Homo-oligomer: A and B are copies of this chain.
Amino acid sequence: MLMIPGPTPVPEKVLLAMAKHPIGHRSGEFSQLIAETNENLKWLFQTKNNVMTVAASGTGTVEAAIINFLSAGDRILVGSNGKFGDRWVQIAEAYGLNVTTIKSEWGTPLNPDDFAKELQADSEKKIKAVMITHSETSTGVLNDLEAINKLVKEHGEALIIVDAVTSLGSYNIPVDEWGIDVIASGSQKGFMLPPGMGFVTASDKAWEAYKTATLPKFYLDLGKYNKSADKSSTPFTPPVTLYFGMKVALEMMKEEGLENIFARHTRHKEASRAAMKALGLPLFAPDTHASPAVTSVVPDGVDAEKIRSVMKNKFDIALAGGQDHMKGKMFRMGHLGFVSDRDVLCAISALEATLTELGHTPKESGVAAASKIL
């Protein structure tokens, strides 16, 4: 049982759809599949623009989101309060961008005021882009995209580039309404699919910037993907079987409806957090900025790795560990994508039993606390 923030659970009918034999990716039948899934992805991304699919992990897709719209030496602000924020700084620097990192401690949200300061001081409009990680998977912090985006809009020149790898499909991001310029996500997250495909969409303003952007690219050249998407095609061989699965997964999402999907993730976030509090397990992210996709816990007096080990060996439930300097000190419970109330309750009951097994019988019931919210 996968209670990690990716790969996330995949519905049986999606798995079976993917077991279908591949077809030719230049056939009329596949072209129809591209057209249909592109329309449904537009619905999910709340945009009129093409949602381009790239055969790549989330990192590859976010790299595309950065490098297609900038040139070497361009000034860019990158928010970083976790492993993934750090990674986007590394990518921006690898390509010779002039990066100003806006840092917050791990577990603390990015502070919009820090962005405001840099953006308001930039009277010459040298800042070409502002990049943030919306849901920081390494910490369970949800950064305030809406507030930071507003500041970028006031600046007027800079693009906003968003890593929505674990927030797209779990939190409401009205991409066109907010004027998000570039936003990227990955299949093994809110999309209820196995890993192997990323998604990215770009605004008209971003496409204008694309025209003069000179960072070298070919496989990750989004202009090629956009042009192909217009013709219901792909520039390179797409992951055909993932497309079969995506068709079914998107149909399931449409049936549930965006509001219901977001409400379910919020409910699971709140139930998980209430349970952790009842169980005496300290939460790493504050209530005001908690990710709807993943809940991070830094146990006090109990070994995080022992908790993960009992959960895995006794109950066959996978929890994620801490990353980088938080390795061994944290566990992260994913509740992203194809997750039901039953799954959340099941994981919490097992966690309760695990604490008892480890000699830390909780005073309060996590299940009771979660039940109230569910």
Contact = CB atoms under 8 A, between A and B. Distances in A.
Interface string A211-227: 00001111111000000
Interface stretch (A15-23, A125-133, A266-274, A298-306): A15-23
The residue in A19, A188, A215, A219 that gathers the most chain B C-beta atoms within 10 A of its C-beta is: A219
A368 to B, nearest CB: 29
Contacts of A63: 218-219
A188 B9 CA distance: 25
A156 interface: no
A221 B95 CA distance: 12
Contacts of A57: 55, 219, 236-238
B318 A27 contact: yes
A275 B217 CA distance: 43
A206 interface: no
Nearest to A20: B15
Contacts of A20: 15
A96 interface: yes
A147 B219 CA distance: 30
A102 B215 CA distance: 27
A159 interface: no
A89 B219 CA distance: 13
Interface stretch (A39-47, A73-81, A239-247): A239-247
A237 B6 contact: yes
Interface size class of A (residues with CB under 8 A): 35 or more
A217 B240 CA distance: 26
Interface in A76-130: 90-91, 94-96
A185 to B, nearest CB: 13
The residue in A56, A63, A95, A220 that gathers the most chain B C-beta atoms within 10 A of its C-beta is: A56
A317 to B, nearest CB: 11
A241 B242 CA distance: 10
Interface string A8-39: 01100001101111111111000000000000
Contacts of A27: 318
A59 B196 contact: no
Given A56-B219, A218-B63, A195 B237 contact: yes
A33 to B, nearest CB: 13
Interface in A173-195: 186, 188, 194-195
Interface in A284-303: none
A282 interface: no
Contact of A94 (B22, B216, B237, B321): B216
A328 interface: no
A195 B55 contact: yes
B237 A7 contact: yes
A218 B22 contact: no
Given A22-B7, A194-B240, A242-B196, A219 B318 contact: no
A140 interface: no
Contacts of A55: 55-57, 60, 195-196
A58 interface: yes
A55 B198 CA distance: 10
Interface of A: 2, 4, 6-7, 9-10, 15-16, 18-27, 55-60, 63, 90-91, 94-96, 186, 188, 194-197, 215-221, 236-242, 318, 320-321
5 contacts: A10-B21, A18-B18, A23-B318, A58-B236, A60-B236
Given A2-B22, A63-B218, A239-B239, 9 more contacts: A7-B24, A57-B219, A59-B219, A59-B237, A60-B236, A94-B217, A195-B238, A195-B239, A196-B196
